Structure 1
Amino acid sequence: MYFRIKRLSARIGIDGAIAFTIATRVIQALGGVISIIFITKFLTGVEQGYYYTFASIIAVQIFFELGLCGIITQYVAHECAYLNWDDDYVISGDKYNLSRLSSLLHFCVKWFGIISIILFFVLIVTGLKFFSFYGKESASINWQLPWISLCLTTSLNLFIDPILAFFEGLGFVKDIAKLRLVQKCAFLSLVFIFYILDFKLYSAALASLFSILVNLLQILLSKRIKILKLIWKSGDQWKVDYIKEIFPYQWKIAISWISGYFIFQLFNPVLFATAGAIAAGQMGMTLAALNGVLSVSISWITTKIPLFSSLVAKKDYTQLDEKFNLILKQACVMCAICLAIFILFVLITKGYNFPVANRFLPLLPLALMSISTFVSQLIFGLAVYLRCHKQEPLVIQSVVTGILTTISTLVFGKVFGVNGLTIGYTSIMIFVSLTWCVYIFNKKKQEWHQS
């Protein structure tokens, strides 16, 4: 039986890194389902609206992270293509690449240390102003302290995530996947306990804080801290020049990520402001489930970013294309299966009039958002392939998609409600974003691999 499972796993592309990442995402998805039950039981419909709108506003951290975590993984992987691990703690190879690797770590720690502090204060001010203005009809909701707590945990997480991205670039994808799995289990266990103890909107913030401490302990009390110290002291003769090397690439990634906020995160604040907290809560819960599906399926791709980057550095384009094509197919199949299961789940809950059914969007907008999720899976895969070349040719496409989505959300969302909002969004994703992305992918792939 074990060997059959092992053969099946190999056939569909599940290695150790993917297995742990999928386990994390599956637990996250199952936790999301259980969270839906807990939110339904322990939060009112209005509090649910606050809960998911919190998440949408917290996502403005995109404006501070600006895609740099993914860039760090790629740049570290490019340097590590010429380095070797002699054992668990010793890295050897070209001194030039080792010095540049150390430079990347110094930059990572200093940059995100400053940015995370700035993010904390920006989030507090933004949230207090937004909810004070648009939440007047629900003044009895205790949201101020939960919001401040969530701002703190978000800022701490912004500082830790780049360190984990650095480790992934070193090739410790499986190791970091284990770490994230432990963190996610700790978070979900704690958030359910806090719900039961009637902490309401405090639950997610407190659970996040404790799970971040779990992450820190996993780094400080293991070989990981020794690896960081070794690289930190590995010389500074050759440095990565942020202005000349990273910034010309990052600003394009940053614009794409900022556009992503308007593409994926604007729905809840707009619905909160125009249709009320309950409608925002329905959209938020639906998106939480769909994002859970997407997080599982993209595991096939995200765990292979260091491999793709290394193959690009070596200009082994034949092997790169073979592996990418297979992995993209596997990811898309998994995404389609998970979406079908989710839609079936909602249909059953609505058919039997379970209370949780009313917390999701109606069937038409739900189906449209599911289609958009599958399209997002395709676009994500193609974007990763292109970005592993240290290039970002999707910046204009992302900006145009973001602008069109913003206009569609504001106009159709206000005039036609959630149906108009989702019809407009899905149309843009299929006929503009995906079509344009496929064209750029084919053009740049041919151009780069022939040069």
Structure 2
Amino acid sequence: MMPASAALIALVWALFRYPKLWASALFGISGDFGWWQELWPMQWRLGISWLCGYFLTQMHTPLLFQTQNAVVAGQMGVTMTVCNMLGLLSLAWMTSRIPVLAKAAGQQDWDLLDKEFKKGFKRSLAVFVLGAVFFVLIRYAADYTAYGVRFLPFWETFVLIGAILFAHISGLLAIYLRAHRKEPFLWLSLSGALLTVGGSVWVAPIWGSAGIVLVLLLVNVGFGFPTSLLMWVMLRKKWHATI
């Protein structure tokens, strides 16, 4: 309900605050810029890619509730929530640069694009790693208190953070490529979601949360990250040579 409420409030606010913008976006063409021609082909792909992200982060708690019990599901939910919040917070150092990245890509200022991306990438990654270390230490100390049982076991928490870390890096690479007003990660997102869902459904009844965190690690490290890096290298070279 929290995301639904936030989306509803933002929608109502935008409708009343910027009615002309909505009218222009939905029905009008400003100059030589057409929303449906310029942005919609990218936006629907982005929508599907982000929908796939649900399966990578949110499906495991109800799955464990169904196949294991409420305790294991709760442990996964709490631990995954902390990991996701860590990713969102550290992503802010990159998302704040998206307007600059998009402008640089539109003006074909590749030096500025790379400079701003590297700066945001390093800071975002550093914040994630520092936050992850801090959380691991807290998680280790929690085992000596009554709150340790509310999280996944320590080694499972460690593996889950590693999986989220590689997913975070892939997300940073995706932001760089999307600054070119293209979404090349659609099929990668779909494939990753299918692998995660299939693997999680298979291992959850047998190995529970331990199996799921291993599936996440294998998919992100063995498929998502190397594929993202390869696409980033190849498309960056291709687009900067032809745009």
When normalised by structure 2's length, the TM-score is 0.89
Indicate whether 1:372 and 2:163 are aligned: yes
Q: Deviations over 1:195-236 (max 9, x none)?
A: xxxxxxxxxxxxxxxxxxxxx6xx9xxxx94xx3676799x8
What are the equivalent positions in structure 2 for 1:278-289 lying under 5 Å apart?
278-289=71-82
Question: CA 1:159–1:242 in structure 2 vs 1: closer, same or farther (change >3 Å)?
Answer: farther
Unaligned runs of 5+ in 1: 1-149, 164-215
Q: Percent identity?
A: 24
Structure 2 letter corresponding to 1:277: A
Which of 337, 357, 363 is the equivalent residue of 2:130?
337
* Residue of structure 2 equivalent to 1:158: 7
1:391 is aligned with what amino acid? K
Where has structure 1 moved over 6 Å in runs of 4 or more? Answer: none
Listed as ranges, the matches of 1:198-217 within 5 Å are none
In structure 1, distance between residues paired with 2:23 and 2:199: 51
Superposed, which structure 2 residues align to 1:2-21 within 5 Å?
A: none
Kindly indicate whether residue 193 of structure 2 is the aligned counterpart of residue 405 of structure 1: no
The one-letter code of the counterpart of 2:7 is L
Structure 2 vs 1, CA of residues 258 and 233 (structure 1 numbering), >3 Å: closer, same or farther?
closer
Secondary structure of 1:355's aligned partner: coil
2:172 is equivalent to residue 381 of structure 1? yes
Structure 1 residue 161: Cα displacement: 3.8
Match of 2:107 in 1: 314
Q: CA deviation at 1:255?
A: 2.4
Q: Quick one: distance in 1 between partners of 2:207 and 2:3?
A: 34
Counterpart of 2:69 (choices 276, 289, 298) is: 276
| Shift of residue 241, structure 1, vs aligned partner | 4.3
- Give the aligned partner of residue 390 of structure 1: 181
1:367–1:154 Cα change, 3 Å: closer
- The separation in 2 between residues aligned to 1:340 and 1:421, in whole angstroms, is 22
Tell me the TM-score normalised to structure 1 length. Answer: 0.50
Q: Are the equivalent residues in 2 in contact too, given 1:266–1:409 (CA < 8 A)?
A: no
C-alpha distance in structure 2 between counterparts of 1:233 and 1:403, whole Å: 37
Shift of 1:313: 1.6
Alignment match of 2:51 (pick from 249, 258, 265) = 258
Q: What is the distance in 2 between the residues matched to 1:292 and 1:311?
A: 29
Counterpart of 1:113 in structure 2 is none
Report the alpha carbon displacement of residue 425 of structure 1 after superposing the two structures with TM. Answer: 1.3
Counterpart selection for 1:443 from 224, 234, 237:
234
Check 1:273–1:316 CA distance in 2 against 1; reply closer, same or farther (3 A cut): same
Does structure 1 conserve the Cα–Cα contact (< 8 Å) formed by 2:60 and 2:200? Answer: yes
Matched residues in 2 for 1:162 and 1:301: separation?
24
Counterpart selection for 1:421 from 178, 188, 212: 212
Contact map agreement 1:379 1:434 (CA 8 A) in 2: yes
2:142–2:148 CA contact under 8 A, matched in 1: yes
Is residue 2:216 matched to residue 1:430? no
Shift of 1:287: 1.0
Counterpart of 1:305 in structure 2: which amino acid?
I
In the other structure, the counterpart of 1:45 is none
* Matched residue, 2:118: 325
3-state SS of paired residue (1:375): helix
Give the whole-Å Cα distance in 1 for the aligned partners of 2:150 and 2:64: 14
Alpha-carbon distance, 1:242 to partner: 4.8
Q: Please give the alpha-carbon distance, in whole angstroms, between the structure 2 residues aligned to 1:368 and 1:254.
A: 28
Return the alpha-carbon distance in structure 2 between the equivalents of residues 154 and 397 of structure 1.
25
What letter corresponds to residue 158 of structure 1 in structure 2? A
Task: Tell me how far 1:250 sits from its aligned partner.
Answer: 2.2
Residues 53-101 of structure 1 show CA distances to partners (whole Å, capped at 9, x for unaligned) of xxxxxxxxxxxxxxxxxxxxxxxxxxxxxxxxxxxxxxxxxxxxxxxxx
Q: Is the 8 A contact 2:167 2:224 kept in 1?
A: no
What RMSD over aligned residues (CA atoms) do the two structures have, in Å? 2.5
**What displacement does 1:156 show?**
3.8
Structure-2 change in CA distance of 1:398 and 1:362 (3 Å): same
Name the counterpart of 1:88: none
Q: Highest Rg: 1 or 2?
A: 1
The number of equivalent residue pairs is 239
1:349 corresponds in structure 2 to: 142
